[in-house]
Structure 1
Amino acid sequence: MFDLSPEEITEGSLARALVTLAAPLLVQNLVLVVQQAVDLFWLGRLSSTAVAAVGLALPILALLFALTITAPFVGTQVLVSQRIGGEDVPAARRTAATGLGLALVLGVGGGAVLWASARPLTDLLTLAQGGAGGEVTRLATVYLGVLALGLPFAAASDAVEGAFIGWGDSRAPLYISIATVAVNLGLDPVLIFGWGPAPALGVQGAAFATVAGYGAGLTLALGLALAGRNGGMYSRAAARFDRDELRELLDVGAPVAGQGAVRQVVRVLIVAIAFAAGGAAGLAAYTVGARIASIAFVPAIGLQQATQSVVGQNLGAELPERARRATYLGVAIAAVGLGVIGAIQWFVPTAIATTFAPELTDRALAFSVDYLRILAYGYPAIGVAYIFEAGFNGARRTRTSFVATVLQFWAVRLPIAAGAGVLLGVGIDAVFWAVTISNISAAIGLALYYRHEMSSGMLQCATERATAAD
């Protein structure tokens, strides 16, 4: 049902290609969201300190993941898709091997940096968030130190997934994610609470379970790749250092890594601003809204990854007009889909908030209801922004996505949140509106710029560059 050949992507129904590629990726992202929820479920039964420690560590992890995992993943996906579209399988294999090698190097380096700097980073973040200190900081440091061991596995697994998606195979990444999450969730209660002969390791056990999941995912990823899936994605001939290939892959992937880092830094700052503007109730509402939004955006993320592959393969096949139509079709699907999700959220915000956080105070619940409704106005816009970014990324214009994110977060979201929310005394509502206004601004800006670049021949140039690389 979810099998797609390169010919179907470049010659068949675009709607079918987008939906067929996106469906397993959507499920994959939902699986990862479930993993986070279940981790919190078990840690919440250990202690509130354990939950706070992991919460303190997550921004550091998200930033490091953006810097070490994103570049090889996106670079591999985009370049492989263009080369498969151009029917240059040896070049696609070379890209896949280069992406895997880069991921291993970045994963090992990033893991070493995380292990060495876990304590200073948690101390710094603790200070930025008002000084949690003590046991929370100690447990967060332990958690990060263990996860440093798993970073090379996570980076390598994602690079292999990027090759699969670029090839037009989105089922393999789903299988890999299910294996990763299944091992993690199965070991969580055993290692956290010490069931059977296993010792009770608490937060450290949760981290070891996550590392084991990464290892299982990488094992399955390499097994699927080396077993000859998609006609064989790796070969001995491709497994050699190629400086030009590495430079090209970084040229595509590095701006997206920077994009992720920009987002994470601002999100950390917004947490501090939300607390300053609305106190504990405002911060709780912001946290609830952020978690719910991360689930609501899952369809757009899956569709974004699918669109990048469809655009890339059609450019590699010298079909720029079809790549343009794929982008606009993806925009329409994302806008309508997230619009429906936003409408549901707008009409029943109280039920949604209490489902995710039943113990909210009356003030925090009131803030959460306000935030969920304000967020809903921007849902179609964030879907539009994601897919236009995919249109640029598939054409190797990842710097455009990076600049758009810098403007969205640093020129719009942060100034409105800090200026109106704190300096002008408007309060937490200004922080909420800053998020939605920045999402709408990003969508409008990307749409206008995409149209401008179309008239300037962006896709024709991208096609020439893709075919010249072959």
Structure 2
Amino acid sequence: MALLKKEVSEILSKVQPDSIMNQLVRLALPVIASSFMSMAYNFINMFFVGKFGSEAVAAVGSAGFYMNLSWAISSLLTVGVGIKVSHAIGESNLFIARSYVKNGLRAVIMLALACFALLAMTRQFLIGLIQLNNPVIEKAATDYLLLVGMSIPFLFQNLFFTSVFIGYGDSRSPFRINVAALIINILLDFILIFPVGLGIKGAAIATIISQAIATILFYRKLNKTEELKPVETVYQYSFLKDIIKLGISPAIQRISFTAVAIVMARIISDWGATAIAVQKVGVQIEAISYMTAGGFVSALSTISGKAYGARDYQTQWAAFRSGMLLAFLIGTATSVLLIAFPGFLFSIFLSDADSIAMGREYLIILGFSQLFMCMELMATGAFFGWGRTNIPAISGIIFTVIRIPTAISFINFWKHALSSVWWSISISSIAKGILLVTLYIILFKLFIKKHNSI
């Protein structure tokens, strides 16, 4: 075992920055493709729902806040298991890798069931928090939330398996499974929404069915992967504790992000349902850079995690540098796209003049922060691979929460202009990107200096 660890370390230590880039691209491409398929589905779903008007979009979007909240809660387990699996693979310890899978899987199922039960019992209260000021929209959002919430037990397991396989270094399997589920979802969306006539409830049912199919496919793949198949292992609290320790900070960060998004939605609701719909569509368009960079975040976390597990810190640093180069390329390209073609991009989804005018302003303002958002995501991936998930979480929580008082201050300063809300979001993203990259450089240099002195 010691000899194998030494051989892995020697191989990794010979990897040059250009081959690190190749590894990042090769590992990230399936994740990015899956993300874009997901984004394409969100576009198509928004297009389908948009046929029923901005009120339907507002209802689905409002329920979506709490589906995002459930996703945030799932990261309590999904983030940590991917990191620990990558560390175990870097150490060439398959028993430990399997043990993390077994202990995490049982916990994620229990967490999913608890999350759905809480959502079902409090759905009216949760939708009421957004203050849509429209009983029809609130009723539609409440009904949709209960129905789509039934997909949570499957969704949590799919997120868990995706993290496990990417941490293992296999991004193609989750890509194939997730793409298959997305295609099924799109087809069922169209059939159930229009020919069957279920409206937005059809979209929720399509989500449940597609996520359930994905879960079945993931179990089949896990049973065929000997390195990860959780056999000859035992349930042990220490493994679950390790996973939660790494996941708790990102979970709190993502929950706070969703909570802030809900408060921001309440602020935006002062401008009516059109403004809410504009934000939901705008976020989907802005996801061009988020989804692309997010794929590289997973790849960077895996490569960095394996290098850290093998104690090859040179490769770990090279991975970060390659990630920053990719952040520059992705962020710059997206900024140009959003700033140069905002009206065209928004007119694809909403056709009325007021929505396009609001959307155009949204995309231009958020376009200025795309580079820094990509920098933040890449630095987050580097920190995750290092096993220091609390640092990006603390930074993210602080600057995300600051959006609320900043938005209120800007609204007063700019005399109730909706653009003041968009600027509060963009400025906070710029600040997060600069700070997190600076922190990684300083802390990693200190870590290397300390390691070399030992």
Q: TM-score, normalised by structure 1?
A: 0.87
Checking the alignment, whether the CA contact within 8 Å between 1:296 and 1:338 is kept in structure 2 is yes
SS at 1:457 equivalent: helix
| TM alignment of 1:411-426, pairs within 5 A | 411=402, 413-422=403-412, 425=415
Q: Does 1:260 align with 2:265?
A: no
Measured against aligned partners, the alpha-carbon deviations of 1:307-361 in whole angstroms (never above 9, x if no partner) come to: 1111100001110121122012101111222202211322222222223333232
Task: Determine the structure 1 residue equivalent to 2:61.
Answer: 55
Aligned 8 A contact 2:339 2:363 in 1: yes
Matched, 1:36 2:29: no
2:385 aligned residue: 394
| Aligned-residue offset at 1:203 | 3.0
Letter of the aligned partner of 1:381 in structure 2?
F
SS at match of 1:256: helix
Structure 1 residues 449 and 316: CA distance shift in structure 2, 3 A: same
- Quote the offset at 1:445 in angstroms: 0.9
Change (3 A) 1:418 1:258: same
Q: Which runs of 5+ in 1 are unaligned?
A: 1-5, 465-470
Identical-pair percentage: 24
Shift of 1:437: 1.2
Residues 26-425 of structure 1 aligned to structure 2 (within 5 Å): 26-45=32-51, 49-67=55-73, 69-125=74-130, 127=131, 129=132, 131-134=133-136, 136-193=137-194, 195=196, 200-228=197-225, 231-238=226-233, 240-276=234-270, 283=276, 285-361=278-354, 364-411=355-402, 413-422=403-412, 425=415
Residue of structure 2 aligned with 1:442, choices 403, 417, 432 = 432
Partner Cα separation in structure 1 for residue 385 and residue 222 of structure 2? 23
TM-superposed deviation, 1:406:
1.2
Tell me the CA shift for residue 283 of structure 1.
4.8
SS in 2 for 1:358: coil
Name the aligned partner's letter for residue 33 of structure 1. M
27 and 160 in structure 1: CA distance in 2 versus 1, 3 angstrom threshold:
same
Q: Structure 1 residues 285, 142: closer, same or farther in 2, change over 3 A?
A: closer
1:146–1:326: structure 2 CA closer, same or farther, 3 Å change rule?
same
User: Do 1:378 and 1:440's aligned partners in 2 also have CA atoms closer than 8 Å?
Assistant: yes
For residue 351 of structure 2, give the secondary structure of its aligned residue in structure 1.
Answer: coil
Please say if residues 331 and 374 of structure 2, whose CA atoms lie closer than 8 Å, have aligned partners that are also in contact: yes
Cα gap change, 1:424/1:343 in structure 2, threshold over 3 Å: closer, same or farther? closer
Amino acid at match of 1:155: F
Cα separation, partners in 2 of 1:149 and 1:291, compared to 1, 3 Å:
closer
Closer, same or farther in 2 for the Cα pair 1:396/1:192, shift >3 Å?
Answer: same
Q: Conserved in 2, the CA contact under 8 Å of 1:320 and 1:459?
A: no
Separation (CA, whole Å) in 1 of partners of 2:211 and 2:217: 10
State the distance in 2 between where 1:435 and 1:48 align: 23
Q: CA deviation at 1:31?
A: 1.1
Q: Verify the 8 A CA contact 2:249 2:390 in the aligned structure 1.
A: yes
**Most deviating of 94-103 and 420-429:** 420-429
**How many residue pairs get matched?**
441
Q: Which moved more, 1:351-360 or 1:324-333?
A: 351-360
User: How much does 1:75 deviate?
Assistant: 0.9
Q: Note if contact 2:120-2:149 (Cα within 8 Å) is conserved in structure 1.
A: yes
The 3-state SS of whatever aligns with 1:22 is helix
The letter of the residue matching 1:313 is K
Superposition RMSD on alpha carbons, in Å? 2.4
Is contact 2:42–2:284 with CA below 8 Å preserved after alignment? no
SS at structure 1 position matched to 2:92? coil
CA distance in 1: counterparts of 2:50 and 2:341, whole angstroms? 26
Q: Does the 8 A contact of 1:273 with 1:422 survive in 2?
A: no
User: C-alpha distance in 2, partners of 1:312/1:227?
Assistant: 24
Cα distance per residue 1:368-410 (max 9 Å; x no partner)? 3333222222111111111111111111111111101112111
- What does residue 5 of structure 2 align with? none
CA deviation profile, 1:71-120 (whole Å, cap 9, x unmatched): 22211111101110111111111112222222111111111111222222
Amino acid corresponding to residue 422 of structure 2 in structure 1: F
Cα displacement string for residues 236-293 of structure 1 (whole angstroms, at most 9, x for unaligned residues):
212x3210000000001121111111111112222232344x5666555544432211
- Is 2:288–2:334's contact at 8 Å kept on the other side of the alignment? no
The one-letter amino acid of 1:146's match is L
Which position in structure 2 is the counterpart of 1:467? none
Q: Distance in 2 between matches of 1:73 and 1:372?
A: 31
